[in-house]
Structure 1
Amino acid sequence: MRPYQRRDFLRASAASMAALSASPAARAAAEPRPSRKVTSANDSLNVAVVGVRGRGMDHVRGFLGQKDQGVRITAVCDVDENVVGNAMKAIESADGSAPRLVRDVRELLDDPEINIISVATPNHWHSLMGIWACQAGKDAYVEKPVSHNVWEGRQLVEAARKYDRIVQCGTQCRSHKGIQDAMEFLRSGKLGTVYMAKGLCYKPRGSIGQGKLQPVPEGLDYDLWTGPAEFHKPGDASVYNPNILHYNWHWVWNTGNGDLGNQGIHQMDLARWGIGKDEFPKAVQSAGGRYGYEDDGETANTQTVNFEYDDVLLQFEVRGLPSNDEMGIKIGDIFFGTEGILTITSYTDWQTYFGHKMEPGPKGSGGGDHYANFIEAVRTRDRSTLNAEIEQGHLSSAFCHLGNIALRLGRKLHIDPATESFVDDSEANAMLRRDYRAPYVVPDQV
């Protein structure tokens, strides 16, 4: 196996630009183009992984683990040549040959040999890439949160429905047996009436410091990285803040959603699943801020959110500074019933306690394979078998966005669940979507 070299990326980038110049995928609004049909369980499924520095490496490992199910990673896409080496080497080591390397995802949309687009980019790209994949006749695995704002998440759901695509959200806890068993226990009534759920994200988050604008380095396509968002210096693609790439984009509103939409969405998803709510709440209120330091970050490191229903309360709390735990939990969920409580203490484990003395009750543990669940649904064309179908991903992502909107406005917001919008509040409704930078625009009509 030869080592990955920079000229591989440059060669791929040149080919990509040449193809795009004559390709309909270069347009912002993609037209549906049929992918190669999979007609039997023996047909291979070809995957393109987009974004491979961080979470994308889990996608690489996850889909390589489906090799016995006829899955192959045939393409890698990333805007930064400096981060693709590990993914290329891992795939070549597993398959014996290197995958195709491209810089621009739009080239992959026109490739009929690609069946699946796996999106592990920063949040601000998730919905648009998912929509483009659906329009191109491809199935998609989209990392959490599936959106950067409420409106585009619903647009992604609409695209999945219109083009009859299989789209999975990367909230992998839904495929873990331990968590599935915990949800079954909550439905059994043994806790009595569940009147409150609380999601906890007590994850240490220190200062990210302060960076300075610098010339964009060789090998990074900063225009593509920015995509629908705004440049660090508005209108200027020649300079960027290196302190914001490649992880600290989570902590600025332009590209991220704070820990509520980073780690927290996993626990938000389980809290909403546990109380059985598949619709928006009637009201949301949030308080908090970025305390303890001054840095390039904008999102909260300390935050409480309350989501109101007529019959149950959903609470969420983010603590990024030193903190105690609750019931031994720093990242997890607590469900409160009239007879006892159920705690989710990790991605796989749960425990119950009963009565005022909190006597330990039934518990459980167990993992699962979220990628295998997705591949099975792709083969059967049955989205009902998905453990984290895109509608569920949209709802849980939207709850994070609602909490952040309430925080930024500093007041209680009333919601119309039927329209997924705020009641008589133009200021809040304006924050349900963003201004998109052309040509990277989520369309009104998908």
Structure 2
Amino acid sequence: MKKIYNPNKGDWKTVLSRPTQTVADIEATVNQVFAAVEQEGDRALQRYTKAFDKVSLDNLKVSAEEIAKAKEKVPAALREAIETAKGNIERFHKAQRTSKVAVETTAGVQCWSEKRPIQKVGLYIPGGTAPLFSTILMLAVPAKIAGCGQIVLCSPPDAKGEIHPAIRYAAELCEVEQMYKVGGIQAIAAMTFGTESVPQVYKIFGPGNQYVTVAKQIATKFGVAIDMPAGPSELLVMADDTANASFVAADLLSQAEHGPDSQVILVSTSKAIIAAVEKEVQRQLPELPRREITQKAIANSKLIYMEDDETALELINTYGPEHFIICTAKEDFYVDGIANAGSVFVGNYTPESAGDYASGTNHTLPTNGYAKQYSGVNLDSYLKSISFQKITKHGIQNIGNTIEVMAAAEGLQAHKNAVSIRLKELSKVTKKEN
């Protein structure tokens, strides 16, 4: 891990750089796959699945029989854990429901907003070296609570042409009925255009590698919305002498094991804790089954010493971490001051793993600095807010002149006329009544 002491602000951009490729590096490949899927449909999906996942598939859809058999292959303890996590995630996301907002802005002018679910959503569930069945809970649970009518799930198959049984079990638990054995760029393309098997959706959710992230961004060019740019995982820990070095090291390693392009950073006002954490990382690393992957991510990681909390917080907000752990005596200072983070974990006994699995918060979060502009997935991610208004005769008389003056000033005579014609009609009625 690279140690950096009191970096100058002019160097922060370099110090905080992420080990990710640019969109330009990947875009050509993504465009090629998108074009093929748009033109060839299932045939292209099958060809890319054979090339990338090393398996030939005649049927891309997961059958009802495959879903039913999944439960048998998932240990009882894991099923119980998934069910417990699902309950916590449901409770947290149900609490995010909001009621209709209504206000009479002027006498006779009633305005209100109501939320409606996105009708068709696509969920991308990474497979690869770590089948993320927990992501199904994070994406499908709020989709169901929101009331989305059609939920399409895509996940890459294994060498046997199957989706991991825990993914299938979690999908069934969340009542997801449309599941497809498609991964990577081609899965995003399939949900963007629709194929003979995979339905087209209006919005795509889910994390993935750098290729999936760019594919989601390209999908927006074709009228499909996305949750956010969510790529390789990252974690920043702020710790001082009150932190437990073994805890901090375990948290850093937990994110580093996601993949070689993950990044973890420790920021500290204590040189002693930096040294202790570095020692703990080296002690714990050899014990991990995914140590080769983790070691590559650790090579991209940094230990940054800052002299004071104010500058440390400024550095952290400049980075905008996906996950942010606070283990300091000045806990409230960082909680109140953090402006850019996907999800925040407060205190020595709040590991990032809790948010990944079972505390209830969502683990689909903005990475690569996008926490400065994007929120993580939440209930509102699956809803659209529609505004309504109803104006009475008295109401149009109250605001009519305001509209006429503004429309005329903008040179939009038809806009002005739409009000004027109503006011004239009301004026005639008033004269008759008098």
Compute the TM-score of the two structures, normalised by the length of structure 2.
Answer: 0.36
Q: Which has the larger radius of gyration?
A: 2
User: Between Structure 1 and Structure 2, which shows a larger proportion of helix residues?
Assistant: 2
